[in-house]
Amino acid sequence: MIEIRVKTSKRVEALNISELVEKATGGKQGSLLHVYTPHTTCGLTINEDADPNVMRDILDALERAVPANYPYRHSEGNSDAHIKATLTGSSVTVPCLQGKPAFGTWQGIFLMEFDGPRERKVIITLI
């Protein structure tokens, strides 16, 4: 179990953490990589890491479905972030070959910040 910390710089942001994750697990043996975030207003997803417009489209679509500005019950002004965190999920798992995640050509792991900017923890487990 390896814990890393990342800093986000906006309220809403898709931060590519693929290299950090690969560095943290490099050389270790295992057949499945588990990446987890212990927060409730950010999520994790795997998607295209080539054209940054893909992640912008994803964040924009989430905002259209779950607008930040809406009369939610929870009074901390970040209900949309909680909802988006549940829609993306708090973990991703990737099969590994000799400690290296078997990402597809276009895949990367993104921390989906929905209530930043903040420092966020990411917990990595190799099984």
In the range 64-103, which residues lie near a copy of itself by CB under 8 A? 65-66, 72-76, 79, 82-83, 85-95, 97, 102-103
* 7, 10, 19, 53: residue in contact with a copy of itself (rule CB under 8 A): 53
Query: Between helices 52-65 and 79-88, what is the axis angle to 10°?
Result: 120
Backbone angles phi, psi at 122, to 5 degrees: -130, 125
Residues in contact with a copy of itself, total (CB under 8 A)?
53
CB 124 within 8 A of CB 20: no
Cα–Cα distance measured from residue 115 to residue 39, given in angstroms and rounded to the nearest whole number: 10
Q: Which of 46, 113, 114, 116 binds a copy of itself (CB under 8 A)?
A: 46
Bridge partners, 7 (sequence order): 119
- Residue ranges binding a copy of itself (CB under 8 A): 1, 31-32, 34, 36-40, 45-48, 51, 53-54, 56-58, 60-61, 65-66, 72-76, 79, 82-83, 85-95, 97, 102-107, 121, 123, 125, 127
